[in-house]
Amino acid sequence: MQVNWQGVYPAISTQFQADGSINYAANARMLEQLIADGIDGIIALGTVGENASLTATEKREFLQQTVKTVAGRIPVIAGCTEHSAAQAIDYIKAAEQIGVDGIMLLPAVVYRGTDREVLVHYQTAARATRLPIMLYNNPVSYGVDINLEMTAVLAEEPNIVAIKESTTDTRRITELQSRFGERFQIFCGVDDIALESVLLGATGWISGLTNVFPRESVMLFRLARAGRINEAREIYRWFMPLLRLDTIPTLVQCIKLAEQLLERGSENVRLPRLALQGTERAYVEQVVAQALRTRPDLSKYQAVPAE
């Protein structure tokens, strides 16, 4: 199965009203802004989307509204964060009917499986759908590393087509390419190693801070892919304090506060998360303010076309 997933894919936030209900109108506005700003696709209901804080019904309604708003203009990949393969299959089948373009599949959450258990989870879910699937490898957050030997087994599943690589070890990108060639589309999943990952051959970047600064994200990615390293480094150095916000436990709150500061969304989150206070909040406000004061003038960079 060939899937042309490439480019910058923000992991979009789920916008909430003050009472905790989903604000679909705000999410639609956010999506329209992101598409206008040139992003290449989206991840809906990933970590930034607070997947685990939504009910099964809310997840389906959110995907319906997202697919309706996007209307085929960019790929919509749905995050799948479930406790068991059976629950994952129910979710994936619903997402397939709704019309998403693919699934970003996590290992079963809560229980930390053995290698064999993780493989069976992925195989069982993949074989229940015709949708293309992206493996989400994040041992830092989920305690499970889909290592090269496990990846070799999953390479036998034709609809597993991509990997969101979030080990934080950029050597893994080279190892995957050396072992599997072009079998998988490899996405960088950690914001503060984005440039390094692209230079090593990652063809996509799933990003949290792209929600806040999409034009800068797209320009950084395209400059890097075009080999214009000095220009890419200029943007990357400016961006780095912001990108670091994506690598800490409160990343969702940080990103949503930054969205609010730029009037792209609201900081409202659902329990167990709480909005930032005190020094944590002041730090995010300071980083965003500094970024706005020193924001690069993208017009000085000759346009780089999308691939």
Residues 240 and 189: their CA atoms lie apart, in Å, by 15
Residues 18 and 14: their CA atoms lie apart, in Å, by 13
Q: How large is the greatest C-alpha to C-alpha distance in the chain, in angstroms?
A: 51
Distances (CA, A) of 20 to 44, 186, 267: 18, 35, 11
Q: Is 164 a catalytic residue?
A: yes
Distances (CA, A) of 226 to 64, 203, 305: 36, 12, 9
Residues 98 and 64: their CA atoms lie apart, in Å, by 6
Q: Is 142 a catalytic residue?
A: no
Active-site entry in 24, 91, 164, 256: 164
Active-site entry in 91, 136, 142, 236: 136
Residues 111 and 192: their CA atoms lie apart, in Å, by 28
Cβ-contact 202, 182 below 8 angstroms:
no
List residues with catalytic annotation: 136, 164
